[in-house]
Amino acid sequence: MPITNEEREYLKFLGENIIKIRKKNNLKQEELSDLLDIDDGSLRRIESGRTNPTTITLLRIANVLKISIKEIFDLKKDI
């Protein structure tokens, strides 16, 4: 089933939160993808909201960035 516009926007905001947190940690996209042991293209798709990351991938991102997984989903908080 195709995703709705609302779901697409949610993925975009999720990716933007990951970018903000990554930059706050002074990490480049390639550095984070290396720490996650994923292809940098995969991280680009997550951060741009073009893919729906798995829960495990989000947990790994949170662990590497030393945050709670809840912070990734906090769409109202300015990180």
**CA distances (Å), 68 to each of 14, 61, 63, in order?**
14, 10, 7
The pLDDT, as a whole number, for residue 76 is: 65
Question: What CATH number does residue 27 fall under?
Answer: 1.10.260.40
Does 52 reside within a domain?
A: yes
pLDDT of the chain, 79 residues: tens digit per residue: 888 999 999 999 999 999 999 999 999 999 999 999 999 999 999 999 999 999 999 999 999 999 999 999 886 655 4
In a domain, 78, yes or no: no
Position 40 in a domain? yes
Residue 42 lies in a domain: yes
Domain count across the chain: 1
In a domain, 20, yes or no: yes
Conformation bin of residue 12: beta by default, left when phi > 0, alpha when psi is -120 to 50: alpha
Structural domain that includes position 14: 5-73
Measure the CA–CA gap between 51 and 12, rounded to whole angstroms: 9
